[in-house]
Structures are given as C-alpha cells and as structure tokens.
Structure 1
C-alpha cells in the first residue's frame, strides 16, 4: 500500500484573491482528513502572485484545529531565514497542543545555507521526537545530509526529478532509521480530456514563471485560448517531465512505479489547479486508487 499525503501551496487562481486561496486550503484540509490522507503539509513561498502560503506556522495551528486525524506540518520552513531558537519555540508549542500530529519540514533555501546542519542538530536536541523533523531536498546531496543529521527525508521530484533515485538511495543506505517520502505533482480527472486541460493550465503557469512572468494560475479557458510561443513550448515540454496527469487508471501505475523506484511507500502529492474543486477531485480519486490495488499516465503537452 502506498500512503497518500498532501503538499499544499495555497495556489491563487486568476481572478481570485489570496484570502480565497487560504480559505480553500482550510476547506481542502477538512476534506482530506476524511480521505485517509497521512499528512498535510503547508508550503512557504514569498513574493509569488501564484501562492498565498507564505507562513506555514500560521496555517498549521488553524488546520490542526480544523482536523482530527492527519499529521499537519510545514513543507517546509525555510530555516536559513529564521533563528533556529524561534522555530523551536513555535513548533514546541504546536507539538505541546497537538502531540503526535505535528511535522517540522525544513528547507535550505532562503538564505546562506552554511549554518543549516548545525541549526538542524540544535532543533533535534531542543525538540526531541515531537514534532517529527523532515529535511526537504531536491539535490543529489540532500539525502546523504538527511541521513547524517538523523531526520526523515522527502525528495521534491516535482521540482527536480533526475537526482531523486540517487538521493533517496543515499538516504536509505546511510540512515539508521529511514523514514522517507517522495513529493510529486499530479493531476487526476474523471476523463482524459479534463486532465489534459488542467495539465495545460499548470504548464502555462510554470512556463510563464520560468520566463520571468509570474502570475496566478490561469484558468482552463485561458490556457485553451493561449497562443504559445516557441520558448513557452520548450519550457512546457521540459516541465511536463515532472507532471503526472491523466485518469485514475492511467496515473495509478505511474505513481506506484515511482514510489517503488525511489524506495518509499509514501507520496506527498502537490496539485495546482485554477479551481479548488478540481484540486479536491484529484485527491478524492487518488485516495480511491492508492490504497487498493488495480491499474499509463501520460504527460500532456500543450
């Protein structure tokens, strides 16, 4: 069985507001708590018109209070931006109020990384085993670092697929008590046509972002009518390698193969759609197909 978890960036659709995106996050978390989801992580992004999730330490207690079963955590706190003592204080309070339900995912972006290993070591000493500390990485070396620091480890396949197998192998081989997950970007819909439309929307958003035109997520209609430039098409082709899209029957074997290839039994799924209803539908379908066994997802080009 492959466990389903969620990475939520609180995406903002064109024509929507950050406040609406944050409310959609709370509503999605409530629904996910009934779907058998293992953990629900809130991302930290700054200065992006497409994401409202800038402060996971604010969203985490709100969602802990709105749910009953899932683990809730950061995916992740950008540790170089903050004093480690302050991060410890915040998450110590959260774990005290909700024992056994809090994750502290840590990223190395956001500032000079040279103090990161010592800061993680200090956090482990101050916090103990609750919350559970995760190192989040997208590089070849991040798995070995997580093993050395004695944390759980999540590899961001949706950001940088190629180093994933090597990074996960380094972690599993060197960690005395490995606990790992693979973060993937997925879209599932009831029909192949709908999945293709939603995928094109994500690919248009990502292509624009890569080319310095960072905007909220375009609607299906905007993506359908868009006249793609050759440069956008090139970026979309490259980015489609990290996007798994299709019907449940198409997506399931791809996800199970990815989990097996990376040696993990947990997928942390990131879904970006203009309409929150499409995001929820993806997770509903994933919850149906990942726990039972039945059975290719294709990557959609614009």
Structure 2
C-alpha cells in the first residue's frame, strides 16, 4: 500500500545536549525532512520538561516555515486550554497569511481544564472563518456573544486538526469537519474506535453541509529505524528507559543506548517498559515499513505521522532517512548521511 509519511517532532533533549541544542536539531531535521519528501512536519508543546524543549510551537513553526519550501508545517499541538481562542486564531492567521497553503493548526485538550475545550475549538474555527460544525454545542456562545471572524483572516486559512488519544476529540473533529490525528504512541487500544467515530461524525457533517473533506484521519506512531537490528534494539532500549523513568515520576533527558544497556532495571521500570513497548515500532527499515503498513491498514488510514525520540540527534536524522528510503519517498535518493558504525552490542536488559 502507498502511505504518506509525516513527522511529529517533540524536540527531544538527550543526555549531554541542551534545550538549545534540541531546538536547533529540530530545525535541521525539518530541513532534511523537507528534502526527503515527508508530507507534513508538526512540532509539539511541552512545559517544565527536562526531556522536551518545545515550549512555544507557534514560534518554532514560524521558523520552520521560513526554513522549508514544500512540506506543510504545524503544531502537534497547541495546548488550547492554556490560551484564549482569539490569540491562537490571530497567531495562526498571521502564519497562514505569510505561508498560504502550508500551515496546519493542531489543537490538543491537555494543559488546563478540559471541559471548555469543545467550545474553545469552535471559537477558533469561527474566528478563522472555518465555520462552527454541527451539534448542540455549536450553538453555545460566550456570555459576551461569539466573536466574529477575524478582520485579518487569511485568504487560505490554516488547516484545523484535533489531536487525541481517545474518542472525544475524534467525535468533535468529525462534527466540525476538521482533520483528526490519533496518538497511537500514547494509547494504542482506542485507535480503531476513535478513527471510526471520527469518520462517522465527518460523514454526517459533510452531508449536512452539502459536501466537505473526505478524510480518513491519520495515525501518529512512535518508531525508530536503524541500519542494523542491534542498533535499533539499543535505540529502543534507550527510549523505553526514558519513558519508564518518566512514568514513575523521574523526568530526565533521554539516556544513551550505552547507558540503557548498563542500567540495572527495577521491577517497576521493567513493567513500564513492557507496557510501553506495545506502542513502539523499531527495527531495520524493512521491518518498520512492514509494521507501519500493517497499522495503517488496521486503522484505515493512508498517512502515518512518525514520532522518533533518540538521545543523539544524528540517530534521529538517520532514522527518518532510512524510513524515507524504505517507502521510496521522492527525495530519498538525495545525498545524505551514510550508515553509522554500529555500537558495541550487549543483549537488551529488558525483553
């Protein structure tokens, strides 16, 4: 099957690197992904995190738009409960005016009280001139009355995406006629149900508005690719150690594969690694391609947004290069970094 591939970049911070290093690495990766032929590139929002550097995705997205020429650039996503809807709409109106047809506005419900999220999304949509969608919630206005569309609304508005790991945002996206991305890397189990709920809501919305986008939704998957299986095992072990620590309240930068192999895993860490490994795809290019194609078919999508976390930014670039080659993306034959020397290998400490 033919899949579109995109990037979800959380600007990871590895041990031995700074937050500034991580942001510069995001810019370099975006430039490489643009040349390789990835479809879109999203940057995430995290706060007070030793392991993630992206605290202002709208700023980073603006930089990436100016440093790339082809990909759609956006957020995966802005944590809408932290902000006023009008401010978010104005920021992305400016970006879309400067870069028409290339801006994705992805919104997430984390970061604050979530009960007002549906109305906030509708307000952003209305301000950008995208409409309010369907359903009773669409008629709920703020006490001061709904704000009219922005005077400065761009000729080509940003594409509105809702991001989620459950069904609520999926249904809301369908009602609004927005796009939807399911975060498989956070919680794989609800994916099929969430995407089906999205499509059902979208079909009803499109029918009610005499047409609309025929969307399947996209799947955001955490994956790591390396030239050899033993290199991939080491990168995966590093990621699983980082995630296990984070789950257990120890938020740290990503460890190196060498540190992950030396680490004496506690029982709790091993348990968390076993759970988190179910949402991680890793291996050689052929192995990862086969699994991504299987996931896409199971979820009925034709685009995978790949999230890759490594301690060394060079390993991350190489992972995306190998993925581009495996899927024969248009720029995958361009000159780039060659295979890296495999590190000394020990059997993984965690199965």
TM-score, normalised on structure 2? 0.82
Q: Distance in 2 between matches of 1:140 and 1:97?
A: 34
Match of 2:262 among 218, 222, 225: 225
Partners of 1:57 and 1:90 within 8 A in 2: yes
| Counterpart position of 1:78 | 79
Q: Label 1:301 to 1:226 Cα distance change in 2 as closer, same or farther (>3 A).
A: closer
Q: Does 1:253 find its partner at 2:290?
A: yes
Runs ≥4 residues deviating over 6 A: none
Q: Label 1:71 to 1:277 Cα distance change in 2 as closer, same or farther (>3 A).
A: same
Q: Distance in 1 between matches of 2:250 and 2:95?
A: 37
| Counterpart position of 2:176 | 149
Instruction: Look up the SS of the partner of 1:33 in the other structure.
Output: helix
Q: Distance in 2 between matches of 1:206 and 1:253?
A: 25
Q: Does 1:202 find its partner at 2:239?
A: yes
TM-score, normalised on structure 1? 0.95
Measured after TM superposition, the shift of residue 56 of structure 1 is 0.3
Measured after TM superposition, the shift of residue 125 of structure 1 is 1.7
User: What is the Cα-based RMSD across aligned positions, in Å?
Assistant: 1.4
> Which structure would you say has the larger Rg?
2
Q: Label 1:300 to 1:31 Cα distance change in 2 as closer, same or farther (>3 A).
A: farther
Q: Distance in 2 between matches of 1:125 and 1:229?
A: 50
1:47-86 to structure 2, matched below 5 A, reads 47-86=48-87
Q: Distance in 2 between matches of 1:30 and 1:22?
A: 13
Match of 2:280 among 236, 243, 257: 243
Unaligned 5+ residue runs, structure 1?
293-298
| Counterpart position of 2:142 | none
Q: May I ask how many residue pairs the two structures share in their alignment?
A: 296
Q: Distance in 1 between matches of 2:158 and 2:13?
A: 29
Deviation string, structure 1 residues 195-219 (Cα, Å, up to 9, x no partner): 0000000000000000011100001
Instruction: Look up the SS of the partner of 1:193 in the other structure.
Output: helix
Partners of 2:261 and 2:349 within 8 A in 1: no
